[in-house]
Structure formats: structure tokens, C-alpha cells
Amino acid sequence: MSARAHRLGRTLLKCNFSYGTVRFQSASATPLARQLNAKIQVAGPLTVADYMKEVLVNPTAGYYPTKEAIGAKGDFVTSPEINQLFGEMIAVWILSEWQKVGAPKPMQLVEFGPGKGTLMSDILRVFNHFKIDGVSVHLVELSQKMRESQAKLLCSEATLGKNEEHQLQVVSGTTSTDYPISWHNHHSEVPRDAFSCIVAHEFFDALPVHKLRKTAEGWREILVDIDTESKDIKFRYILSREPTPISQLYTPKDCDTREDIEICPSAGALMQSLAQRFEEDGGFLLLADYGHDGDKTDTFRGFSDHQLHDPLLNPGSADLTADVDFSYLKRSVEEKALTFGPVTQEKFLNSLGIQVRLNILLQNDGLSAEQKAILKSGVEMMTDASKMGERFKFFSMFPNVLGEHLGKYPVLGF
């Protein structure tokens, strides 16, 4: 029980963090710090988005390709790792919405950033219980290390192929219940011409953000530069002297009174791409993440060993994240798709009947008292408003063509 509680540091801490004057501790430079130092010396300061992207996915020294991120030995834990009921509720939602639109087949079950594969494993267990056929699984994952973990959990057999660097990586497999699985480096590689049910849990918060600050001269972009006063390789935030393309393209409306904002163009582009896919081939998206509805300012932060970590310290050694701006996601697809939410995780999971499912499991005489206590505390952690229940939000997107249909049969949980 206490061990699980310790693994929830990311969930409990990863909110409402803002930076002030940056102070650094003396530390030996990481390999990525040396790469970034050289890059800045040649090309000048980086945007926060470019810095974040390098830190997270640099193929040789980035966080996700080289670290064990999730779990007790990693830097954070996610809801699927806490309790199996989370994944079961996601599966119930997918099947409910899929059946509402006629259960079209073939159906592609897609997950962005599937972690260790725990969420997909729980979803597929429900699919198999209801004997759902005509389904293929597609995992969008860059990290070979994570692909191996996912294949170990999900596959009875897996196939290796070569990536663009001619390195071996997991590319396909089959589950013990005969669902075919394919891995992809990018969402655009997921096949078209099929109905797609897409899940993104703690994926959008890892997409790189630009940071803007309001000044007397107008909006300026916050950049990452070398700290020239330090003898070691260290970094600091500076303001751009002139407007940047991002500060000009994404200038907030006059009604926005915030002094600092974060913009994630890649999230908007992804939403537009998915909206186009759904319009042409059918499908829907369920997104779960930390986020806000356009009212937060500084949320860019790092996590190491389940604790907050200065995002500019030892790049590549810690997870970087920023809260999802759901209002921006809605605006990015307002002419192409229907969006629902965000709603709190507490509301979403309770609407799907997680407490009913918990009570059924607690009546199982085959479970020990300790197992029942873990199940109960896990559901409490995920739904309690003072814990994860308010911090996490759920959001969904459907094609415009379903507007009248969803008016008659409202989207479950929203």
C-alpha cells in the first residue's frame, strides 16, 4: 500500500508549478547538455519547444529513448499502473461509442504513447471478454525500449524490423488472443480507410510548447540560452529582443489577461490531422491528461524520481511536461469536428460506473484482503477530488457528421 502511494509523486505534484528566477546546482554536464551547449553556441538560443523536443526524444541522449520513465524505478506513475479498472473503463467507453455508430469493421484500436502497454492490455482484456473481432491494434511509439516492454506484455510473438537508422526495433506482433498489433513512429503511419478509435493518455502533455510573455513592447518569446556566468554547462531563460514567428502568429486575444502563456502548435496540428482522418474514414478520439481551459500560465516543468525537477538542469535526465490547453485544442478543430469536455477524471470514471465495478470485485472471495484494499485505494486515488479526480481531465473528439446522432445519444461521460 505505502509503496504504491510513493509511486504517485508525479500525479500529485505535476500541477500548478511556475518558475521564477532560475538557480542551478553545480553538476557534471549530461551528454545532451553538451550537445545543446554546442548547438546554442553555433545557432543561438533555442525556443522552449525545441529544447523540450531535444530533451524528450533526442535519439542518442533524450529522456524517452534512454530512460525507464514509468513505474517505481522510473520518474512517474500513470493511472493504468495504479489500477486495472482505469483501463476497463476506457474499454467500456470505446465499445459504447463504437456500438452507437453501428460498430463499423474493420476497427483500428490506436494508442498514442502507450507507455509499458498496461492500458492497452486492460482494454484488450475487455475486448476479448466480449469477443470483439475485426480489430487491429496500432501503437504510436518512438522508443525502442518502450516498444520492447509493450511487446513483452502484449504479444505472444513479435517481429523485428529496421528503422531509418538501420537499428532493429519491434514492428509487429500478435496477442495471445490473436489481435494483430503494429507499431508506428508517427500517427500518419497508421493505415487509412478504416474506422479508428484513438486513445491518448498522458501523451499531449509531452508535446513541445512555446512560452510567450507580455512585455511593454508586446509579446516576446521565452528562449533557452547558455548561462554565461557559470563555469559549468548550464542554461537559463531569456526573452527574445524582437517578436518571433510564434509570438506573432499566436498573439492572444485582447480579452486574455494572462502575462505568460504556453502554445503547442504540434498539438493543434495533430488535432487537425485527426479531425481530417475522422471526417474521411470515421473514428473518434479520447484524450486524458493534465490540463486547463485556457486559464493557466506557467506549467512547464520537469520530473525526476517522482519529484519536481528544474527543467533546465541536467537535460535528458528528467521528464518534461506542460499542461494541455484544452481551449486551444477545441479552437484548432472547431470547423471540422465536435469536441466534448474537458471533464474531470472523477466525473468521467464515475459516469462509466467504476464504483459499481469496484463493488463487484470486492465481493470476489478469491481476492485477499490486501488485494481488495489495493483495489479500493487505487479507485479512491483516481477519483478523489483532492487527489487525481480533479487534476486529470478527459476530452473527446468526433466528426461533425455525427452531430445529430450524438444529440440523440449523448457521449458517455461528458
356-411 pLDDT, tens per residue?
Answer: 999 999 999 999 999 999 999 999 999 999 999 999 999 999 999 999 999 999 99
pLDDT on residue 185: 92
Whether 156 is in a domain gets the answer no
Can you give the pLDDT at residue 10?
Answer: 30
When computed from its CA atoms, the radius of gyration of the chain, rounded to whole angstroms, is 22
Question: Mean pLDDT in the chain?
Answer: 89
The one-letter amino acid code at 372 reads: K
The whole-angstrom separation of Cα 393 and Cα 339 is 14
Relative to beta strand 319-321, strand 301-304 is antiparallel
Predicted pLDDT at 257: 87
Cell matching residue 205: 502533455
What integer pLDDT is reported at residue 373 of this predicted model?
94
Q: Kindly tell me if the per-residue pLDDT of 214 is higher than 80.
A: yes
Q: Residue 330: what pLDDT?
A: 97
Banded pLDDT at 252 (limits 50, 70, 90): confident
Would you tell me how many other CB atoms lie within 10 Å of the CB of residue 193? 9
In a domain, 248, yes or no: yes
Q: What are 80-117's pLDDT values in tens digits? A: 888 999 999 999 999 999 999 999 999 999 999 999 99
199, part of any domain? yes
**pLDDT above 60 for 74:** no
pLDDT digit string, tens, across residues 26-43: 345 889 999 999 999 999
- Burial profile 197-220: b = 16 or more Cβ within 10 angstroms, e = fewer: bbbbbbbbbbbbbbbbbbeeeebb
Averaged over 349-356, what is the pLDDT? 97
Distance of CA 234 to the CA centre of its chain: 28
17 pLDDT band, cuts 50/70/90, is very low
The mean per-residue pLDDT over the stretch 301-317 comes to 89
Q: How many CA atoms lie within 13 A of 26 on its CB side?
A: 3
The residues that bridge with 226 in the sheet, in sequence order, are: 235
- Please tell me the total count of domains within the chain: 1
CATH number at residue 293: 3.40.50.12710
In a domain, 320, yes or no: yes
pTM of the predicted model as reported, rounded to 2 decimal places: 0.88
Does residue 6 carry a pLDDT above 50? no
Q: Which of 268, 304, 322, 357 is nearest to 63 (CA)?
A: 304
pLDDT of residue 69: 58
Q: Decide which of 133 and 72 is more confident.
A: 133
* Mean pLDDT value across residues 183-209: 96
Q: What pLDDT is attached to residue 60? A: 87
Contact indicator for 375, 83 with CB cutoff of 8 Å? yes
**Assigned domain for 182 exists:** no
**Residue 8 pLDDT greater than 80, yes or no:** no
Q: What is the 3-state secondary structure (H, E, C) of 17-81?
A: CCCCCCCCCCCCCCHHHHHHHHHHHHHCCEEHHHHHHHHHHCCCCCHHHHCCCECCCCCECCHHH
> Is pLDDT above 60 for 4?
no
Place of cell 466534448: 340
How far is Cα 377 from Cα 27, in angstroms, rounded to an integer? 39
Least confident of 1-15, 194-208, 226-240, 357-371: 1-15
Amino acid 157: pLDDT: 84
Q: pLDDT above 90 covers what percent of the chain?
A: 76
- pLDDT exceeds 60 at position 13: no
For the residues 217-246, what does the mean pLDDT come to? Answer: 94
What integer pLDDT is reported at residue 156 of this predicted model?
87
Cα–Cα distance, 233 to 346 (Å, whole number): 44
Contact present, 65 and 58 (Cβ < 8 Å): yes
Mean pLDDT of 74-80: 69
In a domain, 379, yes or no: yes
- Residue 37 domain-assigned? yes
What is the residue range of 95's domain? 1-106+194-408
Lowest mean pLDDT among 63-67, 69-73, 279-283: 69-73
Q: How many CB atoms lie within 10 A of CB 138?
A: 23
Exposed e or buried b per residue across 83-121, where buried means at least 16 C-beta atoms within 10 angstroms of its C-beta = bbbbbbbbbbbbbebbebbeeeeebbbbbbbbbbbbbbb
Query: Which percentage of the chain shows pLDDT scores above 70?
Result: 90
Poorest-pLDDT segment among 58-67, 164-173, 227-236, 383-392: 164-173
Are 146 and 116 in contact, with CB atoms under 8 Å apart?
Answer: yes
As a whole number, mean pLDDT of residues 265-288 equals 98
Q: Is residue 31 part of a domain?
A: yes
Listed residue (122, 120, 103) closest to 173, CA to CA: 120
Half-sphere exposure of 273 (CA within 13 A, CB side): 13
